[in-house]
Amino acid sequence: MADVEELKRKAGIEACKFVKSGMKVGLGTGSTVKHTVVELGRRMADEGLEIVGVPTSLATEKLAKEVGIKLVELSEIDGLDIVIDGADEYDPNFQLIKGGGAALLREKIVAQESSAMVVVADDRKRVETLGAFPLPIEVTPFSHEATVRALSRLLDCRVNIRMAGDGPVITDNGNMIADAHTGLKIVDPVSAEADILLIAGVVQVGLFNNMCDAVVLAGTNGVETVINPNGRL
């Protein structure tokens, strides 16, 4: 376990090489990207790196403030130069499943406003077909049972509201997370995303399509960076 954590730390730090002074940086959420946030704070203190950040969750906002990263509201600036974030799965076309940390709505807003996206992850997240990881879908609390039924019919799989103890997980936006246990059948994630978003109770879905430009992977052989040949980097 210690070795896995050390590799994740190295991958998080490696991703910082894409960040240059003067950049506006989206700061993702998760166990690997937290190391990126800490390293960016160190570079600001020790190397004079000058950046501003936009966090994708309250947890990341707290960490960024602790390490000295200046934060701004996304609405105050004209887009971001890059976002560094985690992922729960990515396929050969660099399509992603995200939302295991229940921050997918803010993460997607930030990703859409970014000129490039770098994902940091361990190599267990690399898959041939998306869907082994339950697909997170943020839904409104209002009549969420009806939304879950509609999702189950659409995706032909079990869909359940994510729980924490005796109650549902509540996102930073006051919504719930429905996890769709699709299995390995998301062969067309672009169409799946469009179909899911047609359901009225759905706020956002954790399919991040045509956004990822590079993946920094921590694996048993060390850290490798895989560049999307059709990406923006």
Q: Do 68 and 157 reside in the same domain of the chain?
A: no
61 and 169 in one domain? no
Digit-coded pLDDT (tens) for 145-169: 999 999 999 999 999 999 999 999 9
Closest-CA residue to 196 (of 154, 142, 149)? 154
232 lies in a domain? no
Residues 171 and 56 in one domain: no
Task: Mark whether 175 and 75 lie in a shared domain.
Answer: no
Give the integer Cα–Cα distance in Å for 201 and 116: 30
For residue 163, the cross-strand partners are 168
Nearest to 104 by CA among 210, 208, 220, 225: 208
One domain, residues 96 and 168:
no
CATH number of the domain encompassing residue 148? 3.30.70.260
DSSP assignment of the chain equals: -HHHHHHHHHHHHHGGGG--TT-EEEE--STTHHHHHHHHHHHHHHH----EEEESSHHHHHHHHHTT--B--GGGSS-BSEEEE--SEE-TT--EE--TTS-HHHHHHHHHTBS-EEEEEEGGGB-SSBTSS-EEEEE-STTHHHHHHHHHHHHTSEEEE-EETTEE-B-TTS-EEEEEE--S-BS-HHHHHHHHHTSTTEEEESEE-S---EEEEEETTEEEEEE-TTS--
Tell me: do 6 and 29 sit in the same domain: yes
Task: Mark whether 36 and 15 lie in a shared domain.
Answer: yes
CATH code where residue 84 lies = 3.40.50.1360
Note whether 49 and 85 are same-domain residues: yes
Note whether residue 169 is domain-resident: yes
Per-residue pLDDT tens over the stretch 141-150: 999 999 999 9
Q: Which residues contact 89 (CB under 8 A, 6 or more apart)?
A: 96, 97, 125, 126, 127, 130, 131, 132, 133
Segments forming the whole domain that contains residue 89: 2-126+209-225
- Let me know: does 228 contact 211? Beta carbons within 8 Å: no
Residue 71 near residue 107 (C-beta atoms within 8 A): no
Any domain includes 14: yes
The backbone torsions φ and ψ at residue 204, rounded to the nearest 5 degrees and listed phi first, read -165, 160
Q: Which pLDDT band, with edges at 50, 70 and 90, does 2 fall under?
A: low
Give the count of beta carbons closer than 10 Å to the beta carbon of residue 151. 22
107 is a catalytic site residue: yes
Q: Is residue 217 domain-shared with residue 192, that is, in the same domain? A: no
Q: Are residues 117 and 20 in the same domain?
A: yes
Asked if the structure places residue 118 within a domain, the reply is: yes
80, β-bridge pairs: 114
Tell me: do 58 and 141 sit in the same domain. no
What pLDDT is stored for residue 11 in this prediction?
93
Residue 230 lies in a domain: no
Please answer whether residues 90 and 119 qualify as being in contact, where contact means their C-beta atoms are separated by less than 8 angstroms: yes
Band (pLDDT 50/70/90 cuts) for residue 4 is confident
- pLDDT tens per residue across span 119-139: 999 888 999 999 999 999 999
| 231 belongs to a structural domain | no
Do residues 115 and 171 share a domain?
A: no
Catalytic residue (one of 14, 39, 89, 107): 107
What does the pLDDT look like over 54-85, one tens digit per residue?
999 999 999 999 999 999 999 999 999 999 99
At 58, which amino acid appears? L
Domain count for the chain: 2
